[in-house]
Structures are given as structure tokens and as C-alpha cells.
A and B are shown apart, each in its own frame.
Chain A
Amino acid sequence: MTARLLLVPSLALVAALVACGGSSSESEVASTPAARADYDVFALRCSKCHSLARPLNSGIDDDGYWRAYVAKMRRQPGSGISAEDSVAILRFLHAYSVEQRKRKGKTVDPP
């Protein structure tokens, strides 16, 4: 009986965790096939060494910063981020930054 008493709250906790897991606001940005392709390059390359939370939750929404940062990541050994990949990654990060700026009520520069 004790085991069952423990099992019920454990399952409830797991269900609650599953329910709030896998936040995907980036998927709103990747709503078109072209944007999705950019996101895929970003997700594929950047998850090689670290979780995607690092860039997505960094709070950075400045294109200049991202240019410098992606160039830095590209230089990491074995990054696999080619010049071609950088373009797609930066396109996604720009779109994501625009979305973040809108959410924060900041001004959005015209494209």
C-alpha cells in the first residue's frame, strides 16, 4: 500500500513535468518552410556542443552581437558550422530576435 501511495504522487509529478516540458516558442518563428530550414540548421549545428537553451534563452536580440557570436562558434574546433551554415543560422537568429523584441515591447527595425 505504501508503494502505491508513493507511486500515485510520483506519476502525477512525472505527468506535470512532461506537460510543461519541451517549450517551443522558436517553432512559432519557424512557421514557413524556409524559416523551418533555417531553424533546422541552427538546431543541428548548435546542439552539437551545447543545449539550444544557451542561445535561445540568452536574452540577446541584437543582430551585430549574433554575427560576432556565430563567427566565434564557427571557429570552435569541430563545430561543423560552415560559412553557408552561418548564413542560415543568422537568418533564424534574426527572426527569433525580432519575435523576442516584439514580446518585450521593443521597437523592431524594418527588414
Chain B
Amino acid sequence: MSSRGLLLAIALGALLALARWQPALAFDEEHNFAGSAQIDYHVVPSEPGSAVAPSPYTTFQGFTFEAALKVAVDISEHLSANVKACYGCHGFEMDMAYFDLRAADELNLRVGRFSPSFGAFNLRHDPANHMTSDKPLPYDMGRMLRKGDWNNGVLPAPFPTNGAELDGTHWIGNTAQLDYAGYVVMAFKNDTDPDPTDLNFQESHLNDYLTSDPRPAAGSRLALTLKAGDRADITLGASGMFGTYDPNDRLTYAIVGGDFALRVGRTALRMEYLVRRQQMDVTNPDIFKYAIAPVDGDFFAKHGAYAEVEQPVTDALDLLARADGMYRVGNVSNAAVGSGNETAAYSPLSYRSWVARETLAIAYAVERNLRFKGSLELWEFSYPDQAGRETELSFHVGAVGSF
């Protein structure tokens, strides 16, 4: 059986199973209203923004603010809806608007707008659910230093998009939990640039209602959680996504990742690795920094990883230490992504470039629902900025509230 036939058989089987159950006759509709807001002050003493102006040496300094409101409604025993609206750097945005139709724990159909299942950080992307003001570098969306050089992380989170996902969870006794997900979504694109060389994340977020790239991306995730005693568990996961991002459905991207988490008591060790292989339009060699290689010259690979330890000290005080980084290999476009301007400035990246960061963070809950966050970050780059710096320090001071 071909893979397309197999997918069709799985989808039909799932639809039949979903159609078999009858909704409960009596059900009290339940509503849940939740939200969060974070304000963060980012200080970079070396002021990289003043070294070169304007971009691509873009770095956000000063205050940033993000907020989200979420409504979850259990309409029946098998049907629920979630809507989450966010305000942040891109203005107002719909982070979630989906229905879950659940036949059993093992079989749930999600349709609408959501971040598809990829990696372990996805579930904790809300600033109220992680201890630092910013995200691990592979998932960074705008807070990293020199973000213009890197076009953000490997898979900037969250990554809401439109589509459908089949997912479920199965417990094997009381000791093992197996999770799966498979989805088709619109995902990432770049309809703006005449010669697309990278994903345009802002466009991917905002203009999903209509697209000139009708072919959906597909992806899946598989994870196993094992309980080792009453106070410890281990999770191993693998994720993948594949799609095209240009109007002609010609340029592909593939993202794969693996994650590991160990929790002993309330101490958490988390590790994730992601890589994105990205095809580029090389029909205009003038926009590239290096001559186009005759073989394999039409793509780059961006690797990212992080490892972190989170340690609660008291009920109110948490400490976190994290090491993360990215490594990019491949030719470099000198056209800024999303600008539509091929005469944009020189890119400081070389064929092989990397960034590494070490973070020490503290979070203190002054009240259960209000937490102050502070972090110190040491950055190292494989290339100097125009002031000759390869190392930078930055600080975050912030507060996050949730309800």
C-alpha cells in the first residue's frame, strides 16, 4: 500500500470511529477563562543597536509586553472549544481558535487554528508557564541578540496556523504514557520576496486567511513518558514537519527534533534539539554572499539546542540554568527576509556561523499569580559585530501574572 493510501485508510478509520459514539444526553456546559500578561525590560549594556544602524543588527531593548486571554468551553462530553487571543510584538493575533472532537483518550480530532504538536516546549510557550522572560534559542521569536542576522530561531514559538490534527494519548498501566499526533496545516510561507530564501515568520503568523501557497505542510509527533517511581518521570519525544513555503510550492523546508525531559521531584532537566533544512531560491545569484555551489547549493541547515535545569528552592522561589545555541551552515542571502528588497545590506553571517548563550535565571512568586523574573545572559557569537564584539551580556527583569 502506498503511503498516501495508508494515510487515507488511517483518516477514514478515525472518521468512522469518531462517527460511532453518541453524545451524552445530559451535560453541563463548562467554561474556563484564563489569561496571562508579561512585561519585560531587556538591557544590553553594550548597546548593539547603536553599533550599526539600521538592521540587520536588530536587538530589542527596553520594555516588551505580551498578553493573552483564553476561553475554553466543554460543549459536551466529547466536544470542546478553545479560543486564545494574544497581544504582542505583532499586535493582536489569534493564537488558538479550535474545536476538539474526542472519541476516546486515544482519538481526538482538532480542527481550526492552533500550534501543531512539535517538540516539548510548545506546551509551555505561554510566559506564565516558563521561568525566563525569553524562550530557548531554538524557539526564539524576536528577543535574541542580532535577531536580524539569524531570522529568529529554528522554529519560533508559538507557531499558530490553520489546519487539522489527529492526536491522542494512551496509558499503559500506571507507568507509561504514549502520545501521538499527526497533522496537516498551512504552516510557514514567504509570499513577499521575489526570490524567497527563508521563511517569513511574521507573514506566516498574520496573513493566514488567504494564501497563494495552497499546499499544506504535514507533520507528526510521538512521545513516551515513563514514570520511574512516585516522584520521577522521563519523557522522550520525536517530532517532524515538512512543507513548501513559496507561492509555487517549489521550495521545501523540513524540521525535525528530539526532546528529553527528566523530572525528579520538582527538579526538571530538559533537553531539546531541532534542525531545519531550508531550500532557497538561487535563481538570482546576486543576492548571495557566496557563489552558488553547483551541488547542494540551494539550502541551508539551522541547528538549535538547549539544556536547562529548573530547581524550585521554596514554594515561591525557582532557579534556572540554561545553555542554548544555534549553528547555521549554508550560503547566506544578503536580501533581508520579508523586505522584498534585494539590495538590502551585507549579512555578517558566514557559511558556518554559531551563537551560544548561557543563562542564569530567578523567578519569585510574590503572590501565587504574580511572579517576578530576572535573568543574566552571556552571549557568544562566531563573528564580530562592527564594533568588533563577539561576546555580549544582557539582562532581563520582568513580571508575569496569570489567572
Contacts and interface: CB of A to CB of B under 8 A. Distances in A.
Nearest to A50: B129
A82 B230 CA distance: 11
Contacts, number: 104
Contacts of B317: 21-22
B402 A20 contact: no
Contacts of A79: 169, 177, 225
Given A44-B265, A49-B123, A75-B169, A23 B237 contact: no
Range for the number of chain B residues in contact with chain A: 35 or more
A77 B30 contact: no
B233 A53 contact: no
A57 B369 contact: yes
Contacts of A10: none
Range for the number of chain A residues in contact with chain B: 35 or more
A22 B314 contact: yes
A57 B231 CA distance: 25
B117 A22 contact: no
A48 B262 CA distance: 11
Given A51-B129, A75-B105, A78-B237, A17 B227 contact: no
A109 interface: no
A56 interface: yes
A17 B34 contact: no
Interface in A40-77: 41, 43-44, 47-54, 56-58, 64-65, 68-69, 72, 75-77
Interface in B99-154: 102, 105, 108, 117, 120, 123-124, 128-129
B266 A44 contact: yes
A83 interface: yes
B179 A77 contact: yes
Contacts of A18: 364
Contacts of B237: 78
B268 to A, nearest CB: 8
Contacts of A20: 366-367
Given A49-B129, A57-B369, A64-B28, A76 B171 contact: no
Contacts of B263: 48, 80
Interface in B256-270: 261, 263, 265-266, 268
Contact of A44 (B32, B102, B231): B231
A24 interface: yes
A84 B177 CA distance: 13
Contacts of B365: 21-22, 51, 53
B159 to A, nearest CB: 16
A47 B129 CA distance: 9
B123 A76 contact: yes
A25 B316 CA distance: 13
A20 B367 CA distance: 7
B174 interface: yes
A56 B368 CA distance: 9
Contacts of A80: 177, 225, 227, 233, 235, 263
A53 B261 CA distance: 23
B96 to A, nearest CB: 14
A90 to B, nearest CB: 15
A48 B225 CA distance: 13
Given A21-B316, A49-B129, A51-B402, A78 B265 contact: no
A53 to B, nearest CB: 4
Contacts of B364: 17-18, 21
A29 to B, nearest CB: 14
B358 interface: no
B315 A24 contact: yes
Query: Residue among A24, A50, A78 with the most chain B CB within 10 A?
Result: A78
Given A47-B266, A68-B30, A21 B366 contact: yes
Given A21-B366, A51-B365, A82 B227 contact: yes
B368 A57 contact: yes
Interface in B342-359: none
Interface string B356-384: 00000000111111011000000000000
B177 A78 contact: yes
7 contacts: A22-B315, A22-B316, A41-B230, A53-B369, A77-B167, A78-B237, A83-B171
